A and B are shown apart, each in its own frame.
Chain A
Amino acid sequence: MRRIISILMENEPGALSRVVGLFSQRGYNIETLTVAPTEDETLSRLTLTTFGDDEKIEQITKHLNKLIEVVKLVDLTDGAHIEREIMLVKVKATGSQRAEVKRSVDIFRGQIVDVTSTVYTVQLTGATDKLQAFIDAIGETQVLEVVRSGVSGISRGEKVLNL
């Protein structure tokens, strides 16, 4: 099962490499990974997605919790949550395709953020499956370049991950 694990960790050199190293050391997969400082400059927030059954995820979270720099951790997929990823895509856009691409962008509530005579650069936000659906709709042959931010997430409601 796919999981979104969100971690508050000390904003210190080496912390990220310990998290990433743990995954390779113990043979776990990381599908996406994002990390950035938070409003508290001593803390970073790291979000990663991974796959595994309950036992494997339990081991992953236990080992993450053992890392000295990991302050707090939550498996967002345990409860209601909001998941977002941002994607920038360069799409071929010539002739009649220009209008068609524009229509798809509108349907997916994306924005065209850069234009040349042959290319649109599209920005899209959403859950991972929505971003994939856009690529499928445009058709892989039309897509020149894709860059994704990796998943970020936050719990719904009043639950917060802080100190």
Chain B
Amino acid sequence: MEELSGGEMVVRALADEGVEFLFGYPGGAVLHIYDALFQQDKVDHILVRHEQAATHAADGYARATGKPGAVLVTSGPGATNAVTGIATASMDSIPMVVISGQVITDWIGDDAFQETDMVGICRPLVKHSWMVRDPRDIPEIFRKAFYVATTGRPGPVLIDIPKDMTAPHNRYPYEYPEHVHMRSYNPVTRGHTGQIRKAVNAMLQAKRPVIYAGGGAIQGEAHEVLTRLGRQLNFPVTNTLMGLGAFPGSDPQFLGMLGQHGTYEANMAMHHADFILCAGARLDDRVTNNADKFCPNATLVHIDVDPASISKNVPANIPIVGPVDQVLGEMLAMVEQSEQQPDQKDLDRWWEEVQGWRQYHALRYDHDADGPMKPQHVVETLYRVTEGKAYVTSDVGQHQMFAAQFYKFDHPRYWINSGGLGTMGFGFPAAMGVQFADPDAMVACVTGEGSIQMNIQEMSTCLQYGLPIKIININNQALGMVRQWQDMQYGGRHSQSYMDSLPDFIALAEAYGHVGMKVERAEDLEGAMKEAFAMTDRLVFMDIYVDPAEHVYPMHIAGGAINDMWLSKTERT
């Protein structure tokens, strides 16, 4: 059998897992691994400019492809810099394998140079973690790590490797295990047929049904069967922020996003529903508003691969633990074979009511030809110019919500944002991961002047690897979402939410070797954007000045039900 050093095993194991890209940053504790990387060409190492960006890039790659992201960082500060990205992936159930260097085994616990207890720090953030204690364990640990990260409810895992484990002079036989068996880890592979039948019976008797699908429908590759089931039943469908693209955004049955900044019709339909099919969503506070007032008349069917997500926030009437695609598939087959079908008269009446709510056009906004440009207009223009075909990554704030509301995603994995943790600084490095996954695709990062500055150093990485990302900086000269809350709840006292002394983003982009464009008037936007996307081999930083006073509506009224919303600065439900 072939003999390899621990460092070589790490790299070979990644190759054996089919890892194309390893996002990382070198340092003392991982130098043996970097030396092994240098001497092979199967795994492409991508050098970022900050370890947080490595995790977000791997995360973006994972969200776009469904394959696990891979990250390599050194011990101490390298490892702690990665923590925000690990937490981001954890909250959104993104498969990711993070390898961190560690001080040599003998020094662990001695407060050695660049020692941190990474396993301890990450304990609440990862699905599982391993510390390598014998180089011979490396193949098995890697096999298990990828298996755990990608199965069941996916998530990040950590492998912490003391430097002596990768030493080049100690060589051991290497064989990558074909199978993995863990007696204490057996993710569910099928939902309970009895429960599924019960759910279908309730579904076919519903008079006011809604399908509500989340990120699990995308992670679980359930978009196709979800779309077929939705169309077969002719039920209204809504997606969470994480679920956009699971059901086509331009489909007439689609009500838009629900929740805190969801559409009027989605939130109204949910509240008045008598039946809700929740597929791969977790009824979190951004969706439910006050959970005690959530959908008082509905029979709730909750499908999730993670049993702990069911009845955590809202008790489910019919819980189904299982993979969303498999469960929905079984449901669809039962519906197709059933003699009973939904009562069309009831459904027509329900649709009439839903269309009534739609007529309210809750996403309308004021255009004032002489006034400042509106951020909504920027996203609408982006949708038009890219013909709805771009990957859109986003940061966190008003721009994120406008992107979610105004860009219609017809396909899964094209909308990439940090929904659970809400990590400013996510969007740009995530866009890098997406562009690596799909080099010819249009990738737009919709961001704000606050968020983009949290990982702006990655413009250097983009130059090195020629990533033609389009940065759509919706510049409202404010931490807009914070400012909106201060307007609404703190008497307009804008404590620290003003972005003063902004850099000249155009000059900055140019300094990094990219193209910068400044747009201040609405009438210039479409032309400029077309020009930007025509530059298919260049990163373009579009700095677009918009109205600082604009708010995102609808917006939940705190403490209320899902249908208690502000609809504008002056109107509420």
A1-55 contacts to B (CB < 8 Å):
9-10, 13-14, 17-18, 21, 25, 55
B340 at the interface (CB under 8 A from A): no
Q: Mark B112-146, 1 if CB is under 8 A from A, else 0.
A: 00000001100110011101000000000000000
Chain B residues with Cβ below 8 Å from A147 are none
B283-308 contacts to A (CB < 8 Å):
306-308
A63 at the interface (CB under 8 A from B): yes
B148 at the interface (CB under 8 A from A): yes
Q: Which of B119, B124, B315 contacts A25 (CB 8 A)?
A: B124
Q: Mark B181-207, 1 if CB is under 8 A from A, else 0.
A: 011110000000000000000000000
Contact status of A14 and B119, CB under 8 A, knowing A66-B306, A68-B148 = yes
Q: How far is the CA of A13 from the CA of B137 in the complex (A)?
A: 15
Contact status of A59 and B182, CB under 8 A, knowing A14-B119, A25-B124 = no
Do A68 and B311 have beta carbons less than 8 Å apart?
A: no
Chain A residues with Cβ below 8 Å from B185 are 68
Q: Which residue of A lies closest to B133 (CB)?
A: A13
User: How distant is A34 from chain B, measured CB to nearest CB, in Å?
Assistant: 20
B312 at the interface (CB under 8 A from A): yes
Do B183 and A62 have beta carbons less than 8 Å apart?
A: no
Do B129 and A14 have beta carbons less than 8 Å apart?
A: yes
Q: Which of B124, B148, B308, B315 contacts A21 (CB 8 A)?
A: B124
Do B123 and A21 have beta carbons less than 8 Å apart?
A: yes
Chain B residues with Cβ below 8 Å from A151 are none
How would you classify the secondary structure of chain A's contact residues: helix, strand, loop or mixed? helix
Q: Which of B123, B182, B183, B307 contacts A18 (CB 8 A)?
A: B123
User: How distant is A153 from chain B, measured CB to nearest CB, in Å?
Assistant: 21
A57 at the interface (CB under 8 A from B): no
Do B183 and A71 have beta carbons less than 8 Å apart?
A: yes
A75 at the interface (CB under 8 A from B): no
CB-based A-B contact count at 8 angstroms: 35
A126-163 contacts to B (CB < 8 Å):
163
Chain B residues with Cβ below 8 Å from A63 are 308
Q: Which of B120, B124, B131, B184 contacts A70 (CB 8 A)?
A: B184
Most buried by A among B119, B127, B308, B315: B308
Contact status of A71 and B184, CB under 8 A, knowing A55-B311, A63-B308, A66-B306 = yes
Chain B residues with Cβ below 8 Å from A21 are 123-124
Contact status of A17 and B120, CB under 8 A, knowing A66-B308, A68-B128 = yes
Q: Which of B124, B308, B315 contacts A62 (CB 8 A)?
A: B308
Interface magnitude class on chain B: 10 to 19
User: How distant is B34 from chain A, measured CB to nearest CB, in Å?
Assistant: 27
Chain B residues with Cβ below 8 Å from A66 are 306-308
Do B123 and A68 have beta carbons less than 8 Å apart?
A: no
Q: How far is the CA of A70 from the CA of B128 in the complex (A)?
A: 12
Q: Which of B123, B124, B184, B308 contacts A59 (CB 8 A)?
A: B308
Most buried by B among A14, A21, A55, A59: A14
A58 at the interface (CB under 8 A from B): yes
Q: How far is the CA of A145 from the CA of B433 in the complex (A)?
A: 60
A83 at the interface (CB under 8 A from B): no
A51-109 contacts to B (CB < 8 Å):
55, 58-59, 62-63, 65-66, 68-71
Q: How far is the CA of A65 from the CA of B182 in the complex (A)?
A: 14
Do A17 and B127 have beta carbons less than 8 Å apart?
A: no
Chain A residues with Cβ below 8 Å from B307 are 62, 65-66
Q: Which residue of B lies closest to A24 (CB)?
A: B124
Q: How far is the CA of A13 from the CA of B307 in the complex (A)?
A: 26
Chain A residues with Cβ below 8 Å from B127 are 68
Q: Which residue of A lies closest to B129 (CB)?
A: A14
Chain B residues with Cβ below 8 Å from A18 are 123
Q: How far is the CA of A44 from the CA of B346 in the complex (A)?
A: 57
Q: How far is the CA of A13 from the CA of B160 in the complex (A)?
A: 14
Chain B residues with Cβ below 8 Å from A10 are 184
Do A59 and B183 have beta carbons less than 8 Å apart?
A: no
User: How distant is A70 from chain B, measured CB to nearest CB, in Å?
Assistant: 6
Do B308 and A68 have beta carbons less than 8 Å apart?
A: no
Do A69 and B129 have beta carbons less than 8 Å apart?
A: no
Q: How far is the CA of A62 from the CA of B321 in the complex (A)?
A: 12
User: How distant is B282 from chain A, measured CB to nearest CB, in Å?
Assistant: 13
User: How distant is A46 from chain B, measured CB to nearest CB, in Å?
Assistant: 13
User: How distant is B310 from chain A, measured CB to nearest CB, in Å?
Assistant: 8
Q: Which residue of B lies closest to A72 (CB)?
A: B184
Do B184 and A69 have beta carbons less than 8 Å apart?
A: yes
Chain A residues with Cβ below 8 Å from B184 are 9-10, 68-71
User: How distant is A30 from chain B, measured CB to nearest CB, in Å?
Assistant: 16
Contact status of A58 and B311, CB under 8 A, knowing A14-B119, A68-B182 = yes
Q: Which residue of A lies closest to B321 (CB)?
A: A62
Chain A residues with Cβ below 8 Å from B124 are 21, 25
User: How distant is B407 from chain A, measured CB to nearest CB, in Å?
Assistant: 34
Chain B residues with Cβ below 8 Å from A9 are 184
Q: How far is the CA of A21 from the CA of B127 in the complex (A)?
A: 13
Most buried by B among A17, A62, A69: A62
Q: How far is the CA of A18 from the CA of B123 in the complex (A)?
A: 7
Q: Which of A17, A55, A58, A62 contacts B123 (CB 8 A)?
A: A17
Q: Which residue of A lies closest to B185 (CB)?
A: A68
B127-172 contacts to A (CB < 8 Å):
127-129, 131, 148
Q: Which residue of B lies closest to A21 (CB)?
A: B123
Q: How far is the CA of A69 from the CA of B148 in the complex (A)?
A: 12
Do B128 and A163 have beta carbons less than 8 Å apart?
A: no
B contact set with A: CB distance below 8 Å: 119-120, 123-124, 127-129, 131, 148, 182-185, 306-308, 311-312, 315
Give 3 nearest A-B pairs by CB, closest first. Answer: A62-B308, A71-B184, A68-B128
A contact set with B: CB distance below 8 Å: 9-10, 13-14, 17-18, 21, 25, 55, 58-59, 62-63, 65-66, 68-71, 163
> Could you give 26 example pairs across A and B, Cβ below 8 Å?
A9-B184, A13-B131, A14-B119, A14-B129, A17-B120, A17-B123, A18-B123, A21-B124, A25-B124, A55-B311, A55-B315, A58-B311, A59-B308, A59-B312, A62-B307, A62-B308, A65-B307, A66-B306, A66-B307, A66-B308, A68-B128, A68-B182, A68-B185, A69-B184, A71-B183, A163-B183
Q: Told that A59-B308, A68-B128 touch, could you supply 14 new A-B pairs with CB distance under 8 A? A: A14-B131, A21-B123, A55-B315, A58-B311, A59-B312, A62-B307, A63-B308, A66-B306, A66-B308, A68-B127, A68-B182, A68-B185, A69-B184, A70-B184
